[in-house]
Structure 1
Amino acid sequence: MTRAIPAEPGILAFHKRCQDFYPADAVDASIQQQRAWYDALCAEFDAPSPEGLTRRDEIVGGRVSVRRYQPAEVATQTRIFYIHGGGFVVGSLDSHDAICAEIAHAAKAELVSIDYRLAPEHVWPAAFDDCFEVLQWLLTDGRPLVVAGDSAGGNLAAGMVLKAKAEAIDGIVGQVLIYPGLGGDLVSGSYAEMAEAPGLTTADVAYYRDVLKAPADNMFAHPLKTVDFSDLPPAYVTAAHFDPLRDDAALYAQRLIAAGVNVTYRDEPQMIHAWLRARHMSEGARDGFARLCRGVSDLVETL
């Protein structure tokens, strides 16, 4: 099969820089080495903080670290709960700091990010439990909440929304899923077509699932296994076209729409997995990020 690659020079240059920090065979390295590569990669694509934005780190429940982002101008009571990606293996408050800051600034909303426990030291449901604990904490004061996440964080965000519905927990007014992994079959559709896509391969997805060790039949871990999509909050779902996870996002959006949920879906035509980091060097990523921020803004302004 011919390897599918995008044509946009900016995203190709981004991928080249990523390869210099985080090689294609990184999953064969030790977890510690993978995290070191990832931290270096994230630092390479750091960006200046929006003017007037402030941060404050806190501990929830005596153990879970979170970071609050307060933009200079706040125009809504709705908060954003952001869950970072990294295959459940890498990532931290710092890895997605600039992304969170820019989303908070664009949406004019307070944003809270989480430093959940990582695999393989902490397998399923450790990360999920950490996120749900913070979700409940955020909802205690009655303020509306938009739950957002990229990649593995998109998986956790979708799972949070499903568990909240199952437990009749109110207060979530939107969900934002950014190239999420939602439990597709690994053998058909984009998993086959984009098996060797730049940035993330199907073999990588299989590796991360194996490390996480989530039960195959658990719909919170694999949201595509959900049967009833009704009464879920409106969603902004965005996929990268050159990504094995593309169809996970598309199928989930289709099922939400079929259940009557208001959904905005984007397939970013020239993007690869993790394109958020390319937002300052790729025209497609810049446009995709602007649309994402507009989508988040629309969700926080719904009340």
Structure 2
Amino acid sequence: MDYEKQIDAETWDFIRKTGESYADGAVALSIDEQRDNYDAMCRDFHVARPAIVQTEDLSANGVPVRHYWAGDPTRTVMYFHGGGFVVGGLDSHDDICAEICAQTGYRVIAVDYRLAPEHKHPASFEDAWTASQWAFERFSSGLVLVGDSAGGNLAASVAHHARGQQTSVLGQVLIYPVLGGDMTTGSYIEHAQAPMLTRDECLYYHQIRSAGPPPQNDPTYAPLQDSDFTDLPPTLVVSADCDPLRDDSRDYRDQLQAAGGQVQLINEPGLVHGYLRARHSVGRARNSFERISVTIEALGQNIWPFD
């Protein structure tokens, strides 16, 4: 794969800066070292919260969360951070959540779910579901579920599980999500050596997440394993074209479409996994983040912005 032609100079600068603190092969480090390096990398890209945004750290029935608000919000965004279910937390995506809050006017609840390998599946899903129920009950407003990478998996898992429950989900926005696709074909092979995320790293995160063989037919583990894709909320799926996870987004879009759902796929050309951190330095990433924020706001108002 000739990434020199596909990826522009701004994005290469982002890739190189990322590598200064979170180098290729980081999964070979100890878990503590991976987390330290990932946190350092996130700090390198962190920007100040917009001045209008206020925050408080709370417990959502035992799950640590960070509440962002500006003014008097009428909707709630649940944000689930990426990090392969192994790294990341409330600080790693703090500025992203603050900017979503400022741009949409909605409150944002960032969820500090338990991480593998100390806490195997279904711990992360259980925390995502517990926090979502808590937010719905506390704020009495519909939820827009948002997540990147592993967090996209959790957002979709909550959306699937919420069907028939009391929790009201207005929409979901999944950003380069890992959804349980076939790792022996398609983009997993085409982009096996992609910058920022390789197929071997995908396999590592897949294997470390569960105790024993990965679950089968369990949509709380892999939403693409569900047998029923009906009655899901309006959905935006955003993939990075230079990413082994790319086809998970396409396959999920196809399942929702076949079930008669309202879904839009945006595949971002020339972008790589983790590009949300580049939204202030890379034009393509900035434009994508704008599309994401506009869609979150629209879904919160029961508007489908893609007609």
Structure 2 length-normalised TM? 0.94
Where 2:14 maps in the other structure, the secondary structure is: helix
Separation of aligned partners in 2, 1:125 and 1:293? 29
Where 1:206 maps in the other structure, the secondary structure is: helix
Separation of aligned partners in 2, 1:265 and 1:113? 24
Give the structure 2 partner of residue 161 of structure 1.
159
Letter in 1 for 2:273: H
Separation of aligned partners in 2, 1:60 and 1:263? 30
TM-aligned CA deviation for residue 48 of structure 1: 1.7
Where 2:250 maps in the other structure, the secondary structure is: helix
Separation of aligned partners in 1, 2:148 and 2:134? 21
How many residues are matched?
298
Aligned positions of 1:240-279 closer than 5 A:
240-279=240-279
TM-aligned CA deviation for residue 229 of structure 1: 1.0
Letter in 2 for 1:134: A
Tell me if structure 2 keeps the 8 A contact 1:3–1:197: no
Give the structure 2 partner of residue 136 of structure 1.
133
Tell me if structure 2 keeps the 8 A contact 1:280–1:286: yes
Gaps of 5+ in 1: none
Separation of aligned partners in 2, 1:44 and 1:193? 30
TM-aligned CA deviation for residue 258 of structure 1: 2.2
Alignment equivalent of 1:104, drawn from 94, 101, 108: 101
Separation of aligned partners in 2, 1:127 and 1:116? 5
Give the structure 1 partner of residue 50 of structure 2.
50
Question: Would you say 1:199 and 2:196 are equivalent positions?
Answer: yes
Aligned positions of 1:68-107 closer than 5 A:
68-71=67-70, 73-74=71-72, 77-107=74-104
Q: State the Cα deviation string for residues 102-155 of structure 1 (Å, max 9, x = none).
A: 011111101100111110011111111111111111122531111110000000
Aligned positions of 1:162-177 closer than 5 A:
162-165=160-163, 167-177=164-174
Larger RCO: Structure 1 or Structure 2 (Cα < 8 Å, ≥ 6 residues apart)?
1
Where 2:276 maps in the other structure, the secondary structure is: helix
Separation of aligned partners in 1, 2:262 and 2:162? 18
Q: State the Cα deviation string for residues 173-212 of structure 1 (Å, max 9, x = none).
A: 1011000000011110100101110000111111001110
TM-aligned CA deviation for residue 254 of structure 1: 1.8
Gaps of 5+ in 2: none
Identity in percent: 41
TM-aligned CA deviation for residue 262 of structure 1: 1.5
* Deviates further, 116-125 or 251-260: 251-260
Where 1:285 maps in the other structure, the secondary structure is: helix
TM-aligned CA deviation for residue 216 of structure 1: 3.0
Tell me if structure 2 keeps the 8 A contact 1:92–1:115: yes
Tell me if structure 2 keeps the 8 A contact 1:151–1:178: yes
Where 1:169 maps in the other structure, the secondary structure is: coil
Give the structure 2 partner of residue 239 of structure 1.
239
Letter in 1 for 2:150: A
Aligned positions of 1:273-288 closer than 5 A:
273-288=273-288
Separation of aligned partners in 1, 2:195 and 2:275? 11
TM-aligned CA deviation for residue 170 of structure 1: 3.9
Separation of aligned partners in 1, 2:165 and 2:109? 22
TM-aligned CA deviation for residue 3 of structure 1: 5.4
Give the structure 2 partner of residue 179 of structure 1.
176
Q: State the Cα deviation string for residues 27-78 of structure 1 (Å, max 9, x = none).
A: 11000000000000000001121121100110122x311000002x44x522
Structure 1 length-normalised TM? 0.95
Where 2:145 maps in the other structure, the secondary structure is: strand
Letter in 1 for 2:88: G
Tell me if structure 2 keeps the 8 A contact 1:238–1:268: yes
CA-based RMSD: 1.3
Separation of aligned partners in 2, 1:96 and 1:54? 15
Where 1:221 maps in the other structure, the secondary structure is: coil
* Deviates further, 96-105 or 221-230: 221-230
Where 1:140 maps in the other structure, the secondary structure is: helix
Tell me if structure 2 keeps the 8 A contact 1:69–1:112: yes
TM-aligned CA deviation for residue 264 of structure 1: 2.3
Separation of aligned partners in 2, 1:218 and 1:286? 35
Give the structure 2 partner of residue 13 of structure 1.
13
Give the structure 2 partner of residue 300 of structure 1.
300
Tell me if structure 2 keeps the 8 A contact 1:174–1:299: yes
